[in-house]
Amino acid sequence: MNIWHNVTKDSMGRLNAKEELQGIIDQLSAKGHKLVCADITVDHDGWEQEVDHIHLKVVHTLQETIDFYKRLNFKYNPGYGTQMISGTVWLTNGVWLTRGEYDGSEWWEIHREPMIPDYLRTKPYYEQGEE
């Protein structure tokens, strides 16, 4: 599922990466999904010459969270050129975000651990009757 957070683009059509991600995480937090950790790569020039690796470890302090968001405080064009932001953001309750990209456009996608169907919860045939 694509997530489009209501972040205002500037006059050149750019988004603020921090506001975009923080807004999405805030929306998901309201539903009980809290930020766990993140592994994000930013290719500032599109040629992998100016690359930042932005991480937030599982065990982190409030200051580390603030620093994580500060490093994401830049504008980018989500609909033009090459993919600038890639990576994964893990949240609680089996939810995570990844970057989607197609033909120069990019966005965050939400993934949820799929429900296990009941027919897969039954005992294997070799354990049947062993109670």
Amino acid 34: pLDDT: 96
Q: Is residue 129 part of a domain?
A: no
Q: Is residue 78 part of a domain?
A: yes
Q: Is residue 56 part of a domain?
A: yes
Q: Is residue 110 part of a domain?
A: no
Q: Is residue 39 part of a domain?
A: yes
Q: Mind listing the pLDDT tens digit of every residue in the chain (131 residues)?
A: 555 556 678 878 889 999 999 999 999 999 999 999 999 999 987 777 789 999 999 999 999 999 999 999 999 988 877 889 999 999 999 999 999 988 878 999 999 988 888 877 776 666 666 55
Task: Indicate the number of domains in the chain.
Answer: 1
Domain that holds residue 34: 1-6+13-95
Q: Is residue 120 part of a domain?
A: no
Q: What HEC string does 82-111 produce?
A: CCCEEEEEEECCCEEEEEEEECCEEEEEEE
Angle at 32 between CA 87 and CA 91, to 5 degrees: 20
Amino acid 81: pLDDT: 78
Q: Is residue 75 part of a domain?
A: yes
What is d(CA 58, CA 89) in angstroms, rounded to the nearest whole number? Answer: 11
